[in-house]
């Protein structure tokens, strides 16, 4: 199998899982400094995999790399919705043009491959009802959400027009070991873990009652692999979360409990952040569980404990 963006949090977790299951794994990653690519994420499997440093926007490279793989996880991406609004053309370049190049390479060189695209809950933007099923309207509040929606549509188009075997997942709020911790523009849960380990307070806006669907990355990786192997899912899109909503303030309290001495501080909503607040989000995962048989396993408390332990042990590789 090939995993683009495989040195990042989700891709490397899929790589560890797949190597343990006996798969032959190649990772392609551009190792762009703003994102989560980190060779340490591949610790323990570097001798078992092939690693290609390269960019999905490079069509010639992609045409050379994609032949021969049965499964291609296309996880390469610009991941920050905040940056997507300040650097919309960069987001367009990676999340749209990059994925068209990846699809073109597959159409030309490996049309039999099964392809998975990592989309996001941000395609839904402002939430109208919960739990959110796949038919919820697209009220995108970020350029990132708009481009992820376009990405899904490219994958579907290549399925319908050229018969490529594609599937997309709309990922909720992932967290866990191997996420970058250099800046706070990715998942807030991991950022809270960093703050707690640095003995800084965790800031919660407003009453902190907004619900989120936090999914542990090991569960997420298992879901991606299970869906990849599930027949009848071609051309479709699936929500990927836990199906349970956790109030933000309770998540913060769990991080504080895992790192004793951490203070949780409540403050007013800043105006600029309020604009992108989507409202409660809770995935309806009926479709993915029915299609793949996968179920999330890790409780939020357990996942936070494992995340804290990981960064306590390997802080110098991520700070």
Ligand X SMILES: NC(=O)c1ccc[n+]([C@@H]2O[C@H](COP(=O)([O-])OP(=O)(O)OC[C@H]3O[C@@H](n4cnc5c(N)ncnc54)[C@H](O)[C@@H]3O)[C@@H](O)[C@H]2O)c1
Residues of this chain that bind ligand X (CB under 6 A): 4-5, 7-11, 29-32, 35-37, 55-57, 75-77, 79, 94, 98, 118, 120, 171, 174, 180, 186-187
- Of 52, 170, 48, the closest CA to residue 105 belongs to 52
Tokens encoding 110: 């490996």
Residue 273: Cβ within 10 Å count? 11
Name the 3-class secondary structure at 210.
Answer: coil
Q: Which is nearer to ligand X, 35 or 154 (CB)?
A: 35
Q: Which is nearer to ligand X, 7 or 149 (CB)?
A: 7
- Of 308, 33, 34, the closest CA to residue 190 belongs to 308
Cα–Cα distance for residue pair 93/39, rounded to 1 Å: 24
Q: Which is nearer to ligand X, 2 or 171 (CB)?
A: 171
Q: Which is nearer to ligand X, 120 or 165 (CB)?
A: 120
In whole angstroms, how close is the CB of 261 to ligand X at the nearest point?
A: 27
In whole angstroms, how close is the CB of 185 to ligand X at the nearest point?
A: 10
| Residues 53, 29 contacting (CB under 8 angstroms) | yes
In whole angstroms, how close is the CB of 295 to ligand X at the nearest point?
A: 20
Q: Which is nearer to ligand X, 56 or 196 (CB)?
A: 56
In whole angstroms, how close is the CB of 72 to ligand X at the nearest point?
A: 13
DSSP 220: H
In whole angstroms, how close is the CB of 75 to ligand X at the nearest point?
A: 4
Angular region, 46: left φ>0, alpha ψ -120 to 50, beta rest? alpha
Cβ-proximal residue to ligand X, closest one: 8
């Amino acid at each position: 199998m090939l995993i683009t963006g495989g040195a990042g949090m989700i891709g490397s977790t899929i790589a560890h899982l797949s190597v343990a299951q006996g798969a032959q794994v190649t990772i392609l990653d551009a190792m762009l400094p703003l994102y989560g690519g980190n060779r340490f994420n591949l610790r323990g499997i570097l001798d078992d995999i092939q690693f290609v440093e390269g960019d999905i926007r490079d069509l010639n490279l992609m045409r050379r790399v994609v032949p021969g793989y049965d499964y291609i996880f296309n996880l390469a991406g610009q991941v920050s919705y905040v940056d997507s609004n300040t650097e919309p053309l960069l987001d367009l370049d990676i999340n749209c043009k990059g994925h068209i190049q990846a699809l073109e390479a597959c159409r030309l060189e490996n049309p039999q491959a099964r392809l998975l695209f990592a989309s996001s809950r941000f395609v839904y933007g402002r939430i109208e009802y919960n739990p959110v099923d796949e038919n919820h309207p697209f009220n995108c509040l970020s350029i990132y959400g708009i481009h992820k929606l376009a990405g899904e549509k490219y994958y579907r188009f290549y399925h319908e027009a050229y018969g490529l075997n594609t599937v997309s997942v709309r990922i909720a709020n992932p967290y866990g070991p191997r996420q970058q911790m250099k800046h706070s523009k990715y998942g807030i849960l991991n950022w809270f873990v960093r703050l707690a380990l640095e003995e800084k307070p965790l800031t919660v806006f407003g009453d902190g009652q907004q619900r989120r669907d936090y999914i542990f990355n090991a569960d997420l990786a298992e879901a991606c692999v299970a869906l990849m192997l599930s027949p009848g899912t071609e051309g479709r899109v699936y929500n990927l979360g836990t199906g349970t909503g956790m109030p933000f303030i309770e998540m913060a309290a769990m991080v504080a409990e895992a790192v004793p001495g951490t203070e949780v501080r409540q403050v007013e909503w800043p105006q600029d952040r309020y604009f992108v607040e989507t409202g409660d989000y809770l995935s309806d995962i009926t479709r993915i569980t029915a299609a793949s048989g996968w179920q999330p396993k890790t409780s939020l408390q357990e996942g936070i404990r494992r995340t804290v332990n990981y960064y306590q042990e390997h802080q110098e590789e991520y700070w």
